[in-house]
Structure 1
Amino acid sequence: MSESFPRLHARTRRFSLGVPRGFTVAPDGSRVVFLRTKSGSDPVTCLWEFDVAAGTERLIVDPRTLDADDRDLPPEERARRERSREQAGGIVGYGTDTAVTTAAFALAGGLYVADLRSGGVRRLPTPGPVIDPRLSPTGGHVGYVTGGAFHVQDLEQGTDHALARPEGPEVTYGLAEFVAAEEMDRMRGFWWSPAGDAVLVERADESPVHKWFIADPANPSRPAVEQRYPAAGTPNAEVELFVLGLDGSRVRVPFTDEYLVTAAWDAHDLVIVTMSRDQRSMSVFSVDPVTGATTLLRRDTDDAWVEIVTGVPGHLSDGTLVWVADSDGGRRLVIGDAPATPPTLQVRQVLDVEGDTVLFRASGGDPAEIAVWAYRDGRITLVSPSEAGVYSGHLAGGTLVITGHTLDSEGPVTQVLHHHKPRGHITSHIERHGLDLRVSLIRTGERELSTAVILPAGHVPGSARLPVLMDPYGGPHAQRVLSASGSYLTSQWFADQGFAVVVADGRGTPGRGPAFERAILHDLAGPVLQDQVDALHGAAAQYPDDLDLSRVGIRGWSFGGFLSALAVMRRPDVFHAAVAGAPVTDWSLYDTCYTERYLGHPEEGHYDASSLFGDAGKLDRPLLLIHGLADDNVVAAHTLRLSSALLAAGRQHSVLPLSGVTHMTPQEVVAENLLLLQVEFLKKALGVG
């Protein structure tokens, strides 16, 4: 008997195992270092190398040979993996020197250094479990964090020094604070100088942040886990920057904004990016590492918020600043002070800056497609294949690594080119999902919303009207409708259980320009819900003989969970049942950086309209609430408080608490059974035989 999709989906960590990732291209373009597990069901990530000239792969480090156990991870590393949504184990991150001859990584709290030429690996002694080791550009030293202290170890001398020690239990040096990792896509807290003789280090003091306690009711003998959580309107961690010299010098880098967005230190300049608490102003500063003095290079402002784009700032070979900013209705690559891309091309991310070439991702007329482009000498060139898909890439020494995922591909495909000539593929070991994808991408409603319609395998169009399942995320910073098969595997499985599944990206989602994203300002409920309704009706207009609008369910997780619960409460005329996983029910319980970006400070009065509590008395449709009790992102209080409000209003509903489960639900048995329980709930609620 073949393995069921829910089990396979769980065992492969949502088909993420076996896929090459974490690419680093050597500066001469001769080699590509990357991460990958040995199979599509193997959770242990290994370090590999691809020889560009020969087109061959070589295993450099297999963690199984190092006698390390991921169960020994320090709490800070577990938290970092939760923030980055890391689903695998083993070597999940690494850093190299500039020449890409040496790599450093942490494994089960130990510090390891690998010689990428010989494959030799050695463990270095440290005073405690290691977080985020990074080699200096010259390869002579490795910086890391242990016990909140920032250490540097001299690889030649074997000496280890703490350049900064925490002054209290709530202080750390060298780690990104919670909101930086969770909401600003900044996972690091220190940056080496190009010469390797100094480090820019973040000092984070979390003592002003309010204490929350994450308990495990299923194990009352265990004490609750204490956590500092910066809920909307409450204090953030106090963040400072210091340039720490290997000679023991310490120079403070002052800034007045609330948030440190990122930093970059290359041969041209040390640059930091900061953002105001209301996120309507973002500033780029040049820093003198000797004195700490800052010089403003540019400041971007917006009446709603300034969007954070990863991969910038950078510099061309002559020191010209590379940036991304909104202008003339588009998100544009900016070289110096001049936009280098048209406003119709929405820049998503800068991937690499090599010499005078800037590699970046962008969407044109269709937000479901993300291509890779290159800028050079005032011109932009498409470098990813012309076939519709979702692409990413890396560039160094004339070697281009392009990863692409299309609707027709089983999973991501990674090709290596050297000076435009194919040099082979880096193998993917992704498991075959075994589904017959029946996905159609359409535009719906007056706003031409990106929408996917997924029908059951074997369904003959027009032969029967099927109950409908809306399957959104629906919130900012994330898309569900993409020209990539991997986006629809779970949706297709639900469709094969007898549903017509509709996935739609409404206002607030990326890829269609700043105005479309900012349409949710001060209202996270109205526009996103209306767009789901419009997409449903638009899909039904194009599939009138296949979609039964008298039986419509909706399911989602996180923001999608919020949207699902919102749908059955506010629009029971449209939605007849909902599954809400880890929903944000009260935005005052969510973090500062995300929530205040869209709703402002709670004192401004925009929160009640986006809360679910005021709608509790309206519920008269089946609602299943699911929440992991160990969730430290959307804490279980969201679901428990909504359940209390529903009970007080006399409204029937179901709650499924998951003991020991976080926001990611990584446990195989839990992940498998969650799918099965959801489909059974929806079938019963919608009268599906």
Structure 2
Amino acid sequence: MTLRQQLSFPRQYARTQRFTLGAPRAFTVSPDGARVVFLRSADGTDRVNRLWVLDLDGGTAGGGPAERVAADPATLLAGATERLSAEERARRERSREGSAGIVGYAADSAVELAAFALSGRLFAAELRAGTARALPVRGPVIDPRPSPDGRHIAYTARGALRVIGADGEGDRVLAAPGGGEDPENVSYGRAEFVAAEEMDRSRGYWWSPESDRLLVARVDTAPVHRWWTADPAHPDREPVKAAYPAAGTPNAEVRLFLVDLPGAAGADGADGTDGGGAADGEGGARTEVTWDRARHPYLARVHWSAAGAPLLLVQSRDQSSELYLAVDPATGATRTVHRDEDPAWLELFPGTPAWAPDGRLVRIADEGGARVLVVGDRALTGAQLHLRAVLDIGEHDVLVSASAGEEAAEPETGEVHVYRVNELGVERFSAGAGVHSAVRSGRVTVLASTRPAAPGLSVQVFRDGKPVASLASYAEQPALTAAPALTEAGARRIPCAVLLPTGYQESDGRLPVLLDPYGGPHGQRVVAAHNAHLTSQWFADQGYAVVVADGRGTPGRSPAWEKAVRNSFLLTLDDQVDALQDLAGRFPLDTGRVAIRGWSYGGYLAALAVLRRPDVFHAAIAGAPVTDWRLYDTHYTERYLGTPDDAPEVYAANSLVTDDGLSAPENPARPLMLIHGLADDNVVAAHTLRLSSALLSAGRPHEVLPLTGVTHMTPQEQVAENLLLLQVDFLQRSLGAR
């Protein structure tokens, strides 16, 4: 392989943002089945997303489906460079958003009006007419959302929740810090750090179905400890201060209020008065929603639909108890609809809880050793499926995504499918091996699929179960082809992918091994999708046998599989070793030359491997590793390890910094490269710096690669490209290659 060929994939991988640019995403289907709204950039290297509409009827002269642009940032900003506020940059970091332009939008219930923020300004797009315009509001705007009736748009700006008419008139405050509240700590309508980072709740307010009231979260970060992130490359700049709730320390205080929309029919203040309650006299009347926040402080989910009262899911701090609460909109009082408890922890799932149209509660639960769909009091699925998310709740069925359960007839390694579920049974909607998801409204379903045999994403639109259109993808074709062998390893049947160099022949002999896992909670890597294995294939093409193993703790298998890591992340290393040893009997693996690389939890696992098992692992690359779990956030860390005060021995056992093996003479030092972005506000650089200090004190050689101005995402093109090349250089110095 020539040097030019070696360089082609890293450059392409970086420029295309992992081949995601140019692919359609963020689908919304109108309830009348006439439109599909989505985002897509112009080509495979263009970062700027545009808002698109697929007209399913009458879009062409022959009446067939046709795509059109509904909003173009280049036109709306008149060619000006997009500028992001600090709040917007933080929001994108939480959602791992690396693109530009229109990165998110919300629509009214008819999907006729869309609202989005662009360069801190508020824009509205008429989806039928295809016109978009800026609305005159105070910015910088975060998370705009139209009311269900399309008459108003709410948004947050500078800690306040505001609303403006869709016609651009009447911009006013609904809820803002005041009356003695500290604006440095208190905000309305925004998700707190752990909600956005760990709970998959990026929202902080919710419209009523009648468009006359909102549920609004009030977040007070005063109790949270402050951390400072400095940029050593620019000592003239002040460090950035942030509220970071590390394990065992206070969380933000989150309360919830019902806030009337002044002037809306049925709302207090509809006679033209302000309704009282807001700090500056412009907002609507407030009613606090009450529950036992001392016992269940986490506001994990909010659902408000015409099918029932506002519905909350609140969790205890240790996440072993959660309540499903129905809210009385008149008084703010709550009643318990359902209670769940688990000795380990309770997972949160997309799309739940929610009301079915007939008023029954829809949830996903761990029952009888399986993860099942429950509607009302009845489980509608069993151990053949492992539920992942609720995608849509219809009149006659529930659309879900699921992988094969432990009692499935065939394992279907790495596959995720879409199913229709009701009292009569379960029907698979997606077809063929792959990872599938869907968005549905009424008769129209948008199915997005990635497959092992083909690169990229394919999107099909179905009406009444029959394909009627597809959405074009402009994503680039990768410069190489991934050929993972999906299999299982060891007595525990650990899902694995094995990748060998392109053109490998048996006569080439055994190869040095690179384990390439994430290997921890919420990070499935062994998937039946082509592009997910491209980087592993590129490393394989440098002369390595690459192994990706999803051991205990990773999602997609069973509740017991995920919860086995309670109090011990060390089990995740045991499974990497077991997978390696079993696969060595079936693939050309040279177990005398084994390296491991990973990022985030995978970085922790990589460093753990050479420190705890130098008999197996001979080199490691640890990117943005968590090295001391006392430095990671509350909601994630305490779910698995408890709190440092209650379980100091658990934290010590799982820490790399306090590892007694650092000074043990029987543990030989192995080459270790530590990589960390100095602007990382999720896994802060202190993790790597503390481990480096401990290694130095123990006399253990290692390398540290600090990345100036880089966050946890490493979105910069040159950084992403050169990181791959530098890692190969390290591996070749440490292990060699064929």
- TM, length-normalised to structure 2: 0.91
**Contact 2:258-2:286 at 8 Å conserved across structures:** yes
Where does residue 638 of structure 2 map in the other structure? Answer: 596
- The 10-residue stretch of structure 1 (51-60 or 177-186) with the greater mean CA deviation from structure 2: 51-60
Distance 1:425 1:122 in 2: 28
2:201 is matched with which residue: 166, 170, 186? 186
| Residue type of the alignment partner of 1:529 | L
In structure 2, the residue matched to 1:486 is 531
Output the CA distance in 1 between the equivalents of 2:552 and 2:463: 40
Inter-CA distance 330–462: structure 2 relative to 1 (3 Å threshold): farther
Q: How far 1:157 sits from its partner (Å)?
A: 6.6
| Secondary structure, counterpart of 1:517 in structure 2 | helix
Cα distance in 2 for residues equivalent to 1:258 and 1:76: 24
- How much does 1:15 deviate? 1.0
CA distance in 2, matches of 1:304, 1:147: 39
Give 1:146's aligned amino acid.
Answer: A
Between 1:612-621 and 1:18-27, the stretch displaced more is 612-621
**Residue type matched to 1:162 in 2?**
V
1:468 positional shift: 0.4
Task: Name the structure 2 match of 1:153.
Answer: 164
Query: Where does 1:3-402 land on structure 2 (aligned, <5 Å)?
Result: 4-53=8-57, 54-67=64-77, 71-156=82-167, 158-166=169-177, 167-168=181-182, 169-247=184-262, 248-255=284-291, 256=293, 257-267=296-306, 268-364=308-404, 365-366=411-412, 368-385=414-431, 387-402=432-447
Match of 1:537 in 2: 581
Give the structure 2 partner of residue 610 of structure 1: 654
Distance 2:172 2:39 in 1: 30
1:567, distance to aligned residue in structure 2 (A): 0.3
Q: CA deviation at 1:432?
A: 0.7
User: Contact 2:621/2:673 (CA < 8 Å) preserved in 1?
Assistant: yes
State the distance in 1 between where 2:698 and 2:68 align: 62
Match of 1:461 among 489, 502, 506: 506
CA distance in structure 1 between the aligned counterparts of 2:81 and 2:364, rounded to whole angstroms: 38
Is the 1:317–1:356 Cα contact (8 Å) retained in structure 2?
no
Query: 1:612, 1:642 within 8 Å by CA — same for their partners in 2?
Result: yes
Does the 8 Å CA contact 1:417/1:424 hold for their aligned counterparts? yes
260-269 or 366-375, which deviates more: 366-375
Q: Which of 656, 662, 666 pairs up with 2:705?
A: 656
What amino acid is aligned across from residue 666 of structure 1 in structure 2?
Answer: P
Structure 1 residue identity aligned to 2:301: T
Over the aligned positions, Cα root-mean-square deviation in angstroms equals 1.2
Residue by residue, what CA displacement relative to the aligned partner does 1:58-108 show, whole Å, maximum 9, x if unpaired? 111111111175652111111110001011111010010100001000001
User: Is the contact made by 1:369 and 1:482 (CA closer than 8 Å) also made in structure 2?
Assistant: yes
**Is 2:656 the counterpart of 1:645?**
no
Q: Decide whether the 8 Å contact of 2:324 with 2:338 is kept in 1.
A: yes
What residue number does 2:621 align with?
Answer: 579
Contact 1:622–1:685 (CA under 8 A) maintained in structure 2: yes
Cα contact 1:361–1:370 (8 A) shared by 2: yes
Q: Secondary structure at the match of 1:638?
A: helix
- Counterpart CA distance in 1 for 2:190 and 2:331 is 23
Structure 2: distance between partners of 1:240 and 1:450:
42
In structure 2, the gaps of 5 or more residues are 58-63, 263-283, 405-410
Give the conservation status (yes or no) of the 8 Å contact 2:246–2:633.
yes
Contact 1:628 1:658 in 2 (8 A): yes
Decide whether the 8 Å contact of 1:70 with 1:107 is kept in 2: no
CA contact (8 A) 1:243 1:292 kept: yes
Q: Distance in 1 between matches of 2:203 and 2:413?
A: 29
- In the alignment, residue 399 of structure 1 is paired with which amino acid? V
Pick which of 549-558 and 58-67 moved more.
Answer: 58-67
Distance 1:212 1:541, change over 3 A: same
Deviation >4 Å, runs of 4+: 68-71
Q: CA deviation at 1:557?
A: 0.2
Structure 1: distance between partners of 2:135 and 2:56: 31
1:441 equivalent to 2:441? Answer no
Q: Give aligned-pair identity as a percent.
A: 54
Matches of 1:159 and 1:71, distance apart in 2? 26
Which stretches in structure 1 are left out of the alignment for 5+ residues?
Answer: none
More off after superposition, 548-557 vs 354-363: 354-363
TM-fit CA distance, 1:50: 1.1
Partner of 1:509: 554
Q: Distance in 2 between matches of 1:367 and 1:19?
A: 25
Q: 2:300, 2:313 within 8 Å by CA — same for their partners in 1?
A: yes
Asked if structure 2 preserves the Cα contact closer than 8 Å seen for 1:367 and 1:512, the reply is: no
SS in 1 for 2:430: coil
Structure-1-length-normalised TM-score = 0.98
| Cα deviation digits, residues 592-643 of structure 1 (max 9, x gap) | 0000000011122310111012133346000000000000000000000000
Q: CA deviation at 1:462?
A: 4.9
Cα distance in 2 for residues equivalent to 1:232 and 1:191? 29
Q: Match of 1:495, SS?
A: helix
- Give, in whole Å, the separation in 2 of the partners of 1:539 and 1:428: 37
Question: 1:190-224 deviations in whole A, cap 9, x for unaligned?
Answer: 00000100000000000100000000000000000
Q: Deviations over 1:243-281 (max 9, x none)?
A: 100121100001221200010100022101100001001
Query: What letter corresponds to residue 699 of structure 2 in structure 1?
Result: G
- Residue 555 of structure 1, aligned match among 574, 597, 609: 597
**What letter corresponds to residue 175 of structure 1 in structure 2?**
R
Name the CA distance, whole Å, in 1 between partners of 2:56 and 2:483: 37
SS at match of 2:314: strand
Could you tell me how far apart the structure 1 residues matched to 2:125 and 2:574 are?
A: 53
